[in-house]
Amino acid sequence: MQQIEEIITGSVVGAMHSLYGRTCSPEQIQLQKTRREFEGDVTLVVFPLLKISRKSPEQTALDIGEHLVRNHTEIKHYNIIKGFLNMVIQDNYYLNYLNRIIPDASYGIQAGPDTGNLSPAGNQQPETIMVEYSSPNTNKPLHLGHIRNNLLGYSVCNILRATGKRVIKTNLVNDRGIHICKSMLTWLRYGKGETPETSGKKGDHLVGEYYVRFEQEYRSQVSELIAGGYSQEDAEKNAPVILEAQEMLRKWEAGDPEILNLWKTMNEWVYEGFNETYRKLGVDFDKIYYESETWLQGKKMVLDGLGKKQFFQHPDGSVWVDLRPEGLDEKVLLRSDGTSVYITQDMGTAQLRQEQYNPDKMIYVVGNEQNYHFKVLSIILHKLGFPWAESLHHLSYGMVELPEGRMKSREGVVVDADDLIGEMIQTARDMSRELGKLDGLKESEKENICKIIGMGALKYYILKVDPVKNMTFNPRESIDFDGNTGSFIQYTYTRIRSVFRKAEELGISKPGFVSGQIALNQKEKNLLQLVHEFPAVIADAAQTYNPSLIANFTYELVKEYNQFYHDFSILKEKNKDKRNLRLLLSEVVARVIRNSMGLLGIEMPERM
């Protein structure tokens, strides 16, 4: 379906040739939404075209404006403000557009191919994008930072797929290394055989408690060593508990059966806990990788690079890469005891993914504290001669803090994901009860709606913030039936649904189309223009990996609808054509709200 911007762009390209005998490309045409203080719907920025016209901005705008009005019935008239050509679009264009999209229940969504049956490596159409998100460590439960990661990754996948891309949702579980050895060691010392079943705790919570206990004991030993005359650095290296954890890691890498058995058991506890949290969040994955299955591949790549002189070895046996020519520093790839580091494992995972699925692009959804890590990863893979190293993209996002400051996992000072989800749903229950919004419904219906409201509030509050920005999460602000919140958007949706329930009670049937001869008032036109923008907003969000564009667009749409709803009658409108327009306008606005929020993983209740 050709949009008005495409029509104008093509016409301006033609105008430049017709008026001035010279060609220009569509990329030179700059269109934007007309600013509210000026009359118009679409504005052409004339300045980039002056080298072609060789005239003043005002004269160039006048020439082009006259050409467009003569050749396109969609353009009603225009005005010129310096180098800006503001065009007023005919009402009929928007009314005809409305009629064309009415049958399209998935308006704005160009669904990509199903990834249920993942194909092996090979050339694929359309573009295949693999997105890694979540990537938890198996030594602690998911927390608020993980919630932002999961919601951001999942929504980016939805948005990319809505533009026709083939998307593979993937998770890399950090299931090995010193962190899990810390939890294992502490459990062996103090666990007394405790399990999730005997303790009544989720497995990830149980393992996380032992990780925190390890850190407490480690800090205590470091303090004792410093008091005994050690330097801070030497104390941290020689604390008995860290030496024991390092020895456990060496045994794990050597295949010690007793250590491996405990590792498998404790990780299974954690996986069950993770899966329960993922279900609550409504996120999933097409493919899960485990570092325990990819680290050897990465280690082999390092040794191959060492043999080819791309890396070098220190006298202590550790293997390094020299990144000083790239403006960085030296980076360790294998420790002196032969154990691998995070980047070694990421190297192996990246190569394995390319061999299996040959994605056109690999997106890593990881916090901005890992910017250096992913820059180094790309450079190393490029040094090793992999052409696909250029296709790696780090979707770097800001940290989530609390009103009282930053979270600290090692100290157990975090907002647990499960606790936060439960708190959000309980807050929705309390507010709904206070406002009496769910009176008269069955308890099962109330509970389902409260879950939708609570989770919608959480997801929207996280996703409305540009990913690159740090954010402060305040649960008390996230559930509010006014303002830029998920609850306000959900309430507007249910308001529209109630209009149609009332129409049915009055015997008013939903029309199939609207007359193209109706004059639009400004509120109706504003709504149609926003609906018209929706596909372009999705395309922009997909290109920039930025779900906040969709979230804030939807907020603007519902604000505009609520003003329209307040100012104009729908069902009591006496002019039947006008009433039909407003009903259909309400229908497509509700559809856009549902589809846009669906891209963010947010459900819409039918009533609130």
Residue type, 209: E
Mean pLDDT of 278-304: 95
Q: Please give the backbone phi and psi of residue 133, each rounded to the nearest 5 degrees, phi first.
A: -145, 170
CATH code of residue 366: 3.40.50.620
Q: Are residues 573 and 526 in the same domain?
A: yes
Q: Is residue 388 part of a domain?
A: yes
Of 122 and 308, which is predicted with more confidence? Answer: 308
pLDDT band at 477 (very low <50, low <70, confident <90, very high): confident
Name every residue whose Cβ is closer than 8 Å to that of residue 402 and which is 6 or more positions away in sequence: 144, 415, 472, 473, 474
Residues 145-163: pLDDT tens digits? 999 999 999 999 999 999 9
State mean pLDDT over 256-280: 97
According to the 3-state scheme, what is the secondary structure of 64-89? HHHHHHHHCCCEEEEEEECCEEEEEE
Cα separation of 244 and 170, whole Å?
33
Residues 261 and 315 in one domain: no
In this structure, the answer to whether residues 236 and 278 fall within a common structural domain is yes
Of 235, 250, 285, the last residue of a domain is 285
- 468 shares its domain with 572: yes
Among the candidates 266, 285, 304, a domain finishes at 285
CATH of the domain at 60: 3.30.1360.70
pLDDT at 319 over 50: yes
Mean pLDDT score, 481-508: 93
CB count within 10 Å of CB 373 equals: 16
Do 463 and 587 lie in one domain? The reply is yes
pLDDT band at 280 (very low <50, low <70, confident <90, very high): very high
CATH number of the domain enclosing 506: 1.10.730.10
How many angstroms separate the Cα of 37 from the Cα of each of 40, 526, 567? Answer: 9, 14, 21
Please indicate, yes or no, if residue 118 is contained in any of the structural domains.
Answer: no
Indicate whether 439 and 511 sit together in one domain: yes
Residue 581, C-beta contacts closer than 8 angstroms, at least 6 positions apart = 95, 514, 515, 518, 524
Average pLDDT, integer, range 395-415: 68
Confirm whether 528 is domain-assigned.
Answer: yes
Length of the chain equals: 608
513-553, pLDDT tens digit by residue?
A: 888 788 999 999 999 999 999 999 999 999 999 999 999 99
Specify the DSSP class assigned to residue 256: -
Q: What is the number of domains present in the chain?
A: 4
Q: Do 240 and 348 share a structural domain?
A: no
Least confident of 299-313, 467-481, 590-604: 467-481
Distance CA 547, CA 157 (A): 10
Q: Which carries the bigger pLDDT value, residue 210 or residue 126?
A: 210
What is the phi/psi pair of residue 127, to 5°?
Answer: -55, 135
* pLDDT value of residue 407: 45
Residue 122 has pLDDT above 70, yes or no: no
State whether 563 and 451 are in the same domain: yes
Show the tokens assigned to 556: 């603007």
For residue 590, being part of any structural domain is answered with yes
DSSP secondary-structure letter at 604?
Answer: -
User: What's the pLDDT score for residue 112?
Assistant: 65
Answer whether residue 102 is part of any domain.
no
CA distance 408 to 106: 42
CA atoms within 13 A on the CB side of 263: 22
Q: Is residue 100 part of a domain?
A: no
Task: Taking residues 316-339, report their average pLDDT.
Answer: 92
d(CA 523, CA 517): 17
Residue 114 falls within a domain, yes or no?
A: no
What band does 413 get if pLDDT is binned at 50, 70 and 90? low
Segment 11-37 shows an average pLDDT of 93
* Radius of gyration for the alpha carbons in the chain, expressed in angstroms and rounded: 29
Q: Which residues contact 368 (CB under 8 A, 6 or more apart)?
A: 396, 397, 398, 399, 468
Distance of CA 507 to the CA centre of its chain: 42
Q: Are residues 595 and 458 in the same domain?
A: yes
Same domain assignment for residues 453 and 515: yes
Q: Residue 412 above 60 pLDDT? A: no
Please state, rounded to an integer, the average pLDDT across all residues of the chain: 92
Residue 436: pLDDT over 80: no
Q: What pLDDT, on a 0 to 100 scale, did the predictor assign at position 305?
A: 95
Q: Span 10-18, mean pLDDT?
A: 94
- 114, two tokens: 């199903």
The sheet that has 392-397: what strands, in order across it?
287-290, 166-173, 128-132, 361-367, 392-397
The pLDDT value given to residue 264: 97
pLDDT exceeds cutoff 50 at 87 = yes
Provide the pLDDT for residue 410: 46
Tell me: do 281 and 317 sit in the same domain.
Answer: no
Give 320's pLDDT tier (boundaries 50, 70, 90).
Answer: very high
- Same domain flag for 17 and 81: yes
What's residue 441's pLDDT? 80
Decide if 284 contacts 158 (C-beta within 8 A).
no
Averaged pLDDT, 467-496:
87
Percentage of the chain exceeding pLDDT 90:
82
pLDDT of residue 1: 56
Residue range 362-385: mean pLDDT, rounded? 96
Question: Which domain covers residue 467, as residue numbers?
Answer: 434-599
The last residue of a domain, from among 40, 67, 89? 89
In a domain, 116, yes or no: no
Spatial separation of the C-alpha atoms in residues 156 and 283, rounded to whole Å: 12
DSSP string, 449-484: HHHHHHHHHHHHHHHTS-TTS-EE--HHHHS-SSSS
- pLDDT score, position 409: 45
